[in-house]
Chain A
Amino acid sequence: MRIRRGPPPSTAVRGPVPARDTAFEADALAQLDSLYRTARRLTRNAADAEDLVQDTYLKAFRAADRFEPGTNLRAWLFTILHNSARNRVRDQARDAVVVDSDAVERAAGLAAGTGPAAPGETPESLLLRETLGPDLQAAIDALPEAFREAVWLRDVEEFSYAEIAAMLSIPVGTVMSRISRGRQGLYERLQSAEAGRPGSIGRQPSPVPVGQTEE
């Protein structure tokens, strides 16, 4: 799949590009929320996510002439976002993306871990019943970065394997294995969270801390 013609704009910032289709900017800005949510997952921090998104748009607008109209603008923007995130981590020499090797091991050893489900219950129905959006979000944010990014791009942003592979500059097989490990890691985390929860069904709704679902 062909996503872009030139190399993705990285750190180089060039002078203003004179003539551009205003539809390009409008289409690019329409991706703002998606890019921001993905930036939140990559940085796990609102201020860094905002800077990252702004950085992404600056590069995108300045490289607009290198975007081939009719190709996948959304994937192009996410490529810039991904590269910007990597550059920032490198520039700041800050290890924001520690790979949690324990989590990888736990994910790999998943098959042995989980007990049998109650009759009529599938793992899916159990998780669906017990896991709310904020729990899931927290579990995703707790994944090692490579897995977190792959699962997010696939399952939430709905990119194809090929698009993600082009975006991250990795083989399609690696994309699939990261998605797989990410999902298994999530399953593991949510299952153990479930097991650690006190008897949940009572007359009153379980208290949800104020502001947990809103920022």
Chain B
Amino acid sequence: MNSCDTINALVTPYVDEELADREREAVDRHLQRCPPCYQRVAAEQAIRGLIQARKPALRRECASAALRARCAGLEGRAAPSARIASSAAGAVAPFASAWRRRLAPFALAASLVVLVGGAFVYQLTERSTTVMAAELTADHMKCFAVNSVLGTRQPLSVVESSMTGTFGWDARLPENPESGGLELVGSRPCLYGEGRVAHIMYRYHGHPVSLFMLPNAVRRQSLTSVMGHECAVWSSGGRTFVLITREPRDDVARMASFVQASLARDIK
């Protein structure tokens, strides 16, 4: 009774889990004996799952501070009660490109406000640890790609003072990373989720190793495989640490406990 045509209209709400029980069961029954429909559902589910997992990356792109200032200025144009940009904008045609240039100083001011207001607050999202690990693995690959182009290196003191300056984190990184087989490369602040995370880069027998520190986040301890990398996750002192590399699991566990032990000097 359930031909593919009947099921057809139900596939998308089925994938989105928006069907009532009876309809869902009807689709389930059909899928069990119809490989083409089964494959179609699997494809849609795969894409939906992928988009859900990559949503933070898809949402990473933001409107520029200049655009923000221009749009806030529009509000000032319509209501004389006024914003900073209204006097500058009032005399100029709304869509003229010159307008954009005139507002650049305001845009800069707006961007500074945004930075001060929000950049250092990392909010824990409800995404799973695996998704977080996948996102950070992408950053791991990207930052090492950038580093291999630029070839920059930073000593321990520079990395530690940058952690203090950017994150208010008195990091006690391993003083002799070589004893754990690690060699310090440097650090970068990375954008992740709603704010910044610290990214400290090492090499282990020449191979890239990343240590991420997420402020104000707590996760359960875990060792996850994602995108060909091993990710060790642990939390202490209200911060979450993620160590990522392509080395074998045992080595990763050893590196993680080496770093963990060193950082623990920080937490009395």
Q: How far is the CB of B240 from chain A (nearest CB, A)?
A: 21
- Contact A53 B138, CB 8 Å, known A132-B57, A177-B12: no
- Contact A124 B49, CB 8 Å, known A29-B72, A183-B43, A205-B144: yes
B13 pairs with A183, CB closer than 8 A: no
B50 pairs with A137, CB closer than 8 A: no
With beta carbons under 8 angstroms apart, the residue of B15, B43, B138 that contacts A133 is: B138
Bound: A123/B39 CA distance, A: 9
- Contact A187 B63, CB 8 Å, known A16-B78, A62-B78, A136-B57: no
Give a binary string over B130-157; 1 marks a CB under 8 Å from any A CB, 0 the rest: 0000110010111011101100000000
Q: How far is the CB of B32 from chain A (nearest CB, A)?
A: 16
Bound: A32/B65 CA distance, A: 11
Residues in B32-54 with C-beta less than 8 Å from chain A:
36, 39-40, 42-54
With beta carbons under 8 angstroms apart, the residue of B13, B40, B207, B226 that contacts A204 is: B207
Q: How far is the CB of A14 from chain B (nearest CB, A)?
A: 10
> B1 on the interface (CB 8 Å rule)?
no
> B62 on the interface (CB 8 Å rule)?
yes
Bound: A187/B228 CA distance, A: 21
Residues in A77-126 with C-beta less than 8 Å from chain B:
110-111, 114, 122-124, 126
A58 pairs with B74, CB closer than 8 A: yes
Residues of B within 8 A of A179 (CB): 12
Give how many B residues have a beta carbon under 8 Å from the other chain's beta carbons: 65
A155 pairs with B61, CB closer than 8 A: no
Output the nearest chain A residue to B43 by Cβ-Cβ distance.
Answer: A187
Q: How far is the CB of A180 from chain B (nearest CB, A)?
A: 5
Bound: A127/B42 CA distance, A: 12
With beta carbons under 8 angstroms apart, the residue of A54, A62, A187 that contacts B70 is: A54
Bound: A212/B45 CA distance, A: 27
> A68 on the interface (CB 8 Å rule)?
no
With beta carbons under 8 angstroms apart, the residue of B39, B51, B68 that contacts A156 is: B51
> B94 on the interface (CB 8 Å rule)?
yes
With beta carbons under 8 angstroms apart, the residue of A36, A110, A137, A206 that contacts B58 is: A137
A127 pairs with B12, CB closer than 8 A: no
B145 pairs with A207, CB closer than 8 A: yes
Residues of B within 8 A of A137 (CB): 57-58
Q: How far is the CB of B227 from chain A (nearest CB, A)?
A: 6
The number of inter-chain residue pairs (CB within 8 angstroms) is: 187
> B59 on the interface (CB 8 Å rule)?
yes
> A203 on the interface (CB 8 Å rule)?
yes
Bound: A204/B13 CA distance, A: 41
Bound: A111/B4 CA distance, A: 13
Residues in A185-215 with C-beta less than 8 Å from chain B:
186-187, 190, 200-201, 203-210, 212-213, 215
> B208 on the interface (CB 8 Å rule)?
yes
With beta carbons under 8 angstroms apart, the residue of B49, B78, B142 that contacts A208 is: B142
Bound: A29/B47 CA distance, A: 30
B63 pairs with A33, CB closer than 8 A: yes
B149 pairs with A36, CB closer than 8 A: no
> B71 on the interface (CB 8 Å rule)?
yes
> B79 on the interface (CB 8 Å rule)?
yes
Residues of B within 8 A of A110 (CB): 39-40, 43
B51 pairs with A32, CB closer than 8 A: no
- Contact A156 B11, CB 8 Å, known A205-B208, A205-B246: no
With beta carbons under 8 angstroms apart, the residue of B9, B36, B78, B207 that contacts A111 is: B36
Pick 16 A–B contacts, CB within 8 A, sort by A. Answer: A16-B77, A37-B62, A61-B77, A114-B43, A122-B46, A124-B42, A124-B50, A129-B226, A129-B228, A133-B54, A183-B48, A187-B47, A201-B228, A208-B141, A210-B146, A213-B60
Given contacts A20-B78, A37-B61, A184-B44, 6 further A-B contacts (CB under 8 A): A32-B63, A53-B63, A131-B54, A156-B58, A183-B43, A208-B138
